[in-house]
């Protein structure tokens, strides 16, 4: 084919421009670390990366949820442990009072101790966590046991701790302290107080059993809180692992392998230099023929 000068120059221009654009792209990949800098670089990977990012965001939000509810579950567990100790002591008092004769002084000391223990127990039952009262069900803004009578509810507070996994994160005060869990503990403590002040041996004997039942009732609630903690920890560990996997997946989808990016950059640089050198030669040849014929 006959080659016109304009053709020759246009070809040179095209080649240099192509080499330059490839070099620029390689430089972008190497400097930004992103293989997919815009959806058109790889539409399938870009769309998938969005879905993976979403899974990462969800996983992160599950972990946030777990972190914020775990504290309260742990606090509920340790509070119930304290309440259980109180019940043990009340059980001991009932046992001691039922076995011998009480002199008035002893009677009054024991009565005082029972009152104090009840107050302590009430303080535990009205314990506040980061999101309000721990044992009031969904009524977290009002003390559930203002004087011993329960005014909270027995509804669960739930949290989504994994995709499709909604679990109860509240510890039921109703089941731990009221008839809903078997015995109304505060009435039973009141009964013990009355039994001591009246030195009613039959009532005291009954109270021994009731205090033990109460203690078991609180232990049951405490064990449930412990199980929740274990579940939360297990879920968190899964999410942590999942987060790493997803990050790796996302990396593979849109990020550039540094080694590959740098070697591509070096290659493109060479190509650009080669294109420029060849162009220079072509122009020199053109000049040479013109000169030769002059």
Partner 1 sequence: MGITNLLGLARDALTAQGFGLDVTGQNIANANTPGYVKRTAMLETRVAGTITYGGVGVTGIARSTDRFLDARANEAGSFSASAKSRDGALSQIEALFNDSTGTGLNDSVEALFGSFSSLATNPNDPTARVATLASADNFAARINQTAGQLTAQRADIITQAQATAVQVTETAAQIAKLNAKISEAEIGGADGSDLRDQRDKLVGDLSQKINIHVFTDGAGKLVISAAGATLVEGNNAAGMAVTTSASGAMQIQVQRSNGTTFDVTAQTNAGTLGGLREARETDLVAASQKLDQFAYDVATAVNTQHAAGVGLDNVGARNLFTVSGPTGAAASIKLNAAMIGHPEYVAAASSSAELPSGSTNAIALARLADGNVATGNTRTPIEAYSDLVGDIGQRKMAAAQNVNLRSAIFSQAQSMRESVSGVSMDEEMISLSRYQRAYEAASKLFRTADELLANLIREI
Contacting positions for partner 1 (CB under 8 A): 1-7, 10-11, 14, 34, 36-44, 46-48, 50-51, 53-54, 57-58, 61-62, 64-65, 68-69, 131-132, 138-141, 153, 155, 157-160, 163-164, 166, 254, 286, 289-290, 293-294
Q: What's the count of helices (H) and strands (E) in the chain, helices before strands?
A: 7, 4
| Minimum distance from residue 37 beta carbon to partner 1 (Å) | 6
Q: Between 109 and 283, whose beta carbon lies closer to partner 1?
A: 283
CB 145 within 8 A of CB 93: no
- Alpha helical stretches, state H, 33-103: 43-99
How far, rounded to the nearest angstrom, does the alpha carbon of residue 137 sit from its chain's CA centroid? 21
Tokens, residue 117:
């223990």
Q: Which is nearer to partner 1, 71 or 146 (CB)?
A: 71
Task: Using the minimum distance from each CB to partner 1, give the nearer residue, 61 or 245.
Answer: 61
In the bound complex, what is the minimum distance in angstroms from residue 206's beta carbon to partner 1?
36
Q: Give dist(CA 64, CA 243) in Å, integer.
A: 13
Residues in contact with 282: Cβ distance below 8 Å, sequence separation at least 6, in sequence order:
8, 12
For partner 1, the closer CB: 91 or 250: 250
Q: Closest separation between CB of residue 29 and partner 1, Å?
A: 12
Number of Cβ within a 10 Å radius of residue 2: 4
- What is the smallest separation between the CB atom of 159 and partner 1, expressed in angstroms? 6
């Amino acid at each position: 084919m006959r080659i016109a000068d304009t053709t020759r120059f246009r070809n040179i221009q095209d080649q240099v421009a192509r080499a330059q654009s490839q070099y620029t792209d390689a430089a972008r990949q190497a400097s930004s670390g992103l293989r997919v800098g815009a959806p058109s670089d790889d539409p399938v990977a870009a769309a998938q990366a969005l879905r993976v990012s979403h899974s990462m965001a969800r996983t992160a939000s599950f972990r946030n949820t777990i972190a914020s509810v775990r504290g309260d579950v742990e606090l509920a567990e340790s509070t119930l442990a304290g309440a259980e100790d109180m019940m043990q002591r009340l059980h001991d008092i009932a046992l001691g009072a039922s076995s011998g004769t009480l002199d008035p002084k002893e009677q009054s000391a024991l009565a005082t101790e029972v009152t104090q223990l009840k107050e302590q127990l009430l303080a535990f039952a009205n314990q506040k966590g980061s999101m309000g009262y721990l044992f009031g069900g969904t009524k977290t803004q009002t003390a559930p046991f203002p004087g011993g009578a329960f005014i909270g509810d027995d509804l669960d507070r739930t949290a989504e701790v994994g995709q499709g996994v909604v679990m109860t994160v509240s510890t039921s005060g109703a089941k731990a302290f009221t008839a809903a869990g078997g015995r109304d503990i505060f009435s039973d403590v009141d009964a013990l107080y009355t039994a001591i002040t009246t030195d009613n041996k039959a009532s005291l004997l009954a109270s021994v059993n009731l205090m033990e039942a109460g203690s078991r009732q609180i232990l049951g609630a405490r064990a449930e809180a412990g199980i929740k903690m274990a579940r939360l920890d297990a879920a968190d560990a899964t999410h942590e692992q999942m987060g790493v996997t997803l990050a790796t997946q996302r990396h593979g989808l849109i990020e550039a392998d540094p080694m590959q990016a740098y070697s591509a950059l070096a290659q493109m640089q060479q190509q650009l230099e080669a294109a420029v050198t060849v162009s220079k030669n072509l122009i020199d040849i053109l000049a040479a023929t013109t000169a030769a014929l002059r």
